[in-house]
């Protein structure tokens, strides 16, 4: 996974990917993927022409939902991100398929052992859910939150065969 900073305005394209929890949308251009929209977020329809990168991201996400892909090979582009967010996202990208890490573990991994809440904020700012797997980060005492909702987080973890204990 390659994370780049965008250096100008490049026309973007959009592709919708259907999933059991609703449609996801991938936005990007020939430089990389700029954003993934979760099922609860509104987007427009597929653009008439999609960039090669967006079509490839669409194919990879469809393979993920079909359980034939466990890792992604894409260029990701962001216009804005703090160095802390980038550090957190790099740690998230290294969490293996089917595994989880706690917010505290991610905080320790970036050298800020008392920044578990800040890790949660960085996860919430992640523009590429699934590609940068913020759903694999859980609280020490349960699932924790997820921008797409707990039901979507549970679905993604179950898809990856991580067994989710029922919430009380």
Q: What CA–CA distance (Å, rounded) separates 24 from 26?
A: 7
Q: Give me 1's structure tokens.
A: 């996974």
Cβ neighbour number for residue 125 with a 10 Å cutoff: 17
DSSP 142-156: B----TT-HHHHHHH
Helix, strand, or coil here: 102? strand
Work out whether the CA dihedral 125, 72, 54, 157 comes out positive or negative: negative
88 belongs to the catalytic site: no
Q: What CA–CA distance (Å, rounded) separates 133 from 64?
A: 12
Of 130, 134, 137, 159, the active-site residue reads 134
Please state, in angstroms and as integers, the Cα–Cα distance from residue 135 to each residue in 143, 154, 163, following that order.
9, 8, 13
User: Active-site residue numbers?
Assistant: 134
């Amino acid at each position: 996974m390659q994370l780049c900073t965008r250096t100008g305005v490049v026309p973007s394209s959009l592709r919708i990917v259907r999933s059991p929890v609703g449609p996801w949308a991938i936005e990007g251009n020939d430089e990389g993927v700029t954003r993934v929209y979760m099922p609860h977020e509104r987007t427009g329809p597929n653009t008439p022409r999609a960039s090669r990168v967006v079509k490839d991201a669409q194919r990879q996400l469809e393979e993920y939902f079909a359980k034939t892909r466990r890792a992604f090979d894409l260029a990701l582009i962001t216009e804005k991100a703090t160095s802390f967010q980038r550090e957190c996202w790099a740690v998230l990208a290294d969490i293996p398929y089917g595994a989880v890490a706690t917010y505290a573990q991610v905080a320790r991994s970036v050298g800020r052992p008392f920044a578990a809440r800040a890790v949660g904020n960085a996860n919430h700012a992640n523009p590429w859910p699934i590609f940068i797997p913020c759903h694999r980060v859980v609280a020490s005492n349960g699932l924790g939150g997820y921008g797409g909702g707990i039901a979507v987080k549970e679905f993604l973890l179950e898809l990856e065969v991580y067994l989710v204990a029922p919430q009380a």
